[in-house]
Structure 1
Amino acid sequence: MNTRSFAIRLLLAAALVLAGLVFAYPLLFMFTASFKPADAIFANIANPAALLPDAHWSLVNYRNVFDKSAVGRYLLNSTAIALITIVAGVFVNSALAFAIAKLKWRGRHGVLALVLALLIVPMDVLAIPMMLVVAHLPWFDVQQGGLVFGWLDTLHVQIMPFVANAFCVFLFHQAFKDLPDELIEAARMDGAGAMTIYLRIVLPLCKPTVATASIVIFLGMWNQYLWPVMTVQTGGARPVMVGLQQFFGRTNQWGEIMAYASLITLPVLVFFLVIQKHFVRSVVGSGIKG
């Protein structure tokens, strides 16, 4: 490696580190502020030393968050909603994409066109009609031991309408379309059916796409606000974002607000770190294909 090449790589590494610090600073400030009293948060905000632990740090803000709100329950609700939607959504969306991309049947191009058309329809347009529908749908209530009508104030009302995702269908369709047809035909010659090909061959080959779809679904469900506000009125099924808005009305202490924000941000970071390897592969693969 010559001197010029080494200097270019060094400058590139320095630029990446600087960009990383710029993007990470707001998160670092939020986490550090969550351990400080209100008067100490903005005292030396321009000093990078404000991010380092000092004598002001304590867990008081986190204790106050749990005392003033049911954040633990909200975190559990949002986690269940997001994870169930991911599992169901990956299966449903990828199955439809596989049927469109690799199975021969009349009308599949029209279905794909309908999926693409749904991409431009905003949630704000669908919210009221969807609420009118779910308010009268039947559901078997285990506690009551019978059939009840209306999904309001439940967890499944925040899950079922969002399992099917037009963007994820399109994402999987593009991934499946690039798989060689010879692979599918070879499996059929060995006696494999469509479901076997989908579950054992096609889906395992598209793990990066599964990771990308999981992130898209997770972020969408974790950040849900409008739909839960419309359909959930009790705290038993309330997600974290609605709980955050209510928490704003109970405190004006920035340390407590930062603590609440940190609690609802950590699961997102952990989830991304768990599947980042496959997500990076998806991004790199898309760049190579382009």
Structure 2
Amino acid sequence: MTLTQQAPTSVPELTPNQRRRKARADAAFEPRLGGKILKWIFLLLAAIVTFFPFFAMVVIALKPGMAIDFPGSLMPTNLSGDAFKEVLSSGQLMTWTKNTLIYSVVSVVLVLILASMAGYAFAKKKFPGREAMFWSFLAMVMVPFHVTLIPTFIFMAKMGGIGTYWGLILPSIANAQAVFLMRQFIQGLPDELFEAAKIDGASEMRIFFRIVLPLCKPVLATLGVFVFLWHWNDFLWPMIVGRTSEMWTLTVGISSMHQQNVPLSTVLAGSVIALLPIMMAYLMAQRYFQEGVAGTGIKG
């Protein structure tokens, strides 16, 4: 029996053009790799800078009764939850949290309903003066809130809204930015859907609640997170309307702690607790939030 020895497969020799292209590709690989490394270093530094204030707030809140000195106070040693226990045992914090939840949640619901209705009308309905009305309404974005603060306060005072929930909520539900975002998103929806629904005999309210709102879930979640964030962190209007501590929101209440000689660790513990609902709201709506931002940017 003879063994047949197979000759090794020969590698074809590169032509001069192929060698030049390979050399250029190898030379370009190193700068691309270096650019990626620099990008990741920059993103890492940006993440550290962004996260640092939250880290400092949590660490100092966990060191009650200790003198604040930097950078020693930022070391995660000798931690204690006494400041959080003190804040949570306070009845005022629960009242402020309740007021903030009512203000934020009710405002989110009303803003989303009114903005989606207005956005649907401006996007799909044809009526005289539509464009002039829309752009006039949108011009409100360029008017600073402080310019209309005194007239709004006088109006609400004459209506008896000072020191009430409805006086706190009512001036904030006409949101021009929310209307603009809803209009941009609804403009991208196909007209055939609405025409088919009308042929089937659907009323305008049924079209709105059965077609428009389900299709607008991503942008509604995005708006909901933004509006919730705006109202949860709002300070000036709740401070003016809430005459007593029973009507204060968390931002006003925590700010008042500085005037009561409350320790810094207790103030920061209250700030950490106030931050948690915002993080939970974003995590719950994260998927819709990302879809809404991407979709609105493409369709707008």
> 1:38 Cα shift?
4.7
Deviations along 1:99-129, one digit per CA (max 9) or x if unpaired, are 1111122222222022111111111111111
Asked if the contact 2:103/2:168 (under 8 Å) is kept, the reply is: yes
Gaps of 5+ in 2: 1-25
- Paired with 2:49 and 2:292, the residues of 1 have a C-alpha distance of 25
Deviations along 1:207-260, one digit per CA (max 9) or x if unpaired, are 221122112211221122221222221122211111122111112522112112
Q: 1:238 aligns with which of 241, 248, 260?
A: 248
> 1:286 Cα shift?
4.2
> 1:31 Cα shift?
1.5
Which residue does 2:119 correspond to in 1? 97
> 1:22 Cα shift?
2.8
Q: 1:22 aligns with which of 49, 64, 78?
A: 49
Count of residues paired in the alignment:
272
TM-score normalised by L of structure 1: 0.84
- Paired with 2:296 and 2:120, the residues of 1 have a C-alpha distance of 19
User: Cα–Cα, structure 1 residues 195 and 9, in superposed 2: closer, same or farther, change >3 Å?
Assistant: farther
Greater CA radius of gyration, 1 or 2? 2
Tell me the secondary structure at the aligned position of residue 63 of structure 1. Answer: helix
Asked if the contact 2:84/2:266 (under 8 Å) is kept, the reply is: yes
Name the aligned partner's letter for residue 199 of structure 1: F
User: Cα–Cα, structure 1 residues 77 and 244, in superposed 2: closer, same or farther, change >3 Å?
Assistant: same
Q: 2:140 aligns with which of 115, 118, 124?
A: 118
TM-score normalised by L of structure 2: 0.81
Gaps of 5+ in 1: 138-149
Which residue does 2:12 correspond to in 1? none
User: Cα–Cα, structure 1 residues 187 and 7, in superposed 2: closer, same or farther, change >3 Å?
Assistant: farther
Which residue does 1:74 correspond to in 2? 96
- Paired with 2:237 and 2:73, the residues of 1 have a C-alpha distance of 39
Tell me the secondary structure at the aligned position of residue 31 of structure 1. Answer: helix
Which residue does 1:152 correspond to in 2? 162
Deviations along 1:109-161, one digit per CA (max 9) or x if unpaired, are 22202211111111111111111111122xxxxxxxxxxxx111111111111
**1:192 counterpart = 2:202:** yes
User: Cα–Cα, structure 1 residues 8 and 278, in superposed 2: closer, same or farther, change >3 Å?
Assistant: farther
Which residue does 1:35 correspond to in 2? 62
Deviations along 1:33-63, one digit per CA (max 9) or x if unpaired, are 211135365354497xx2x4x4x22222123
User: Cα–Cα, structure 1 residues 201 and 69, in superposed 2: closer, same or farther, change >3 Å?
Assistant: same
Deviations along 1:156-212, one digit per CA (max 9) or x if unpaired, are 111111112111001101111111112211221222222111111122112221122
Aligned residues with identical type, % of pairs: 32
Matched ranges for 1:253-272 at <5 A: 253-272=263-282
- Paired with 1:287 and 1:177, the residues of 2 have a C-alpha distance of 12
Name the aligned partner's letter for residue 123 of structure 1: F
Deviates further, 82-91 or 241-250: 241-250
> 1:279 Cα shift?
1.0
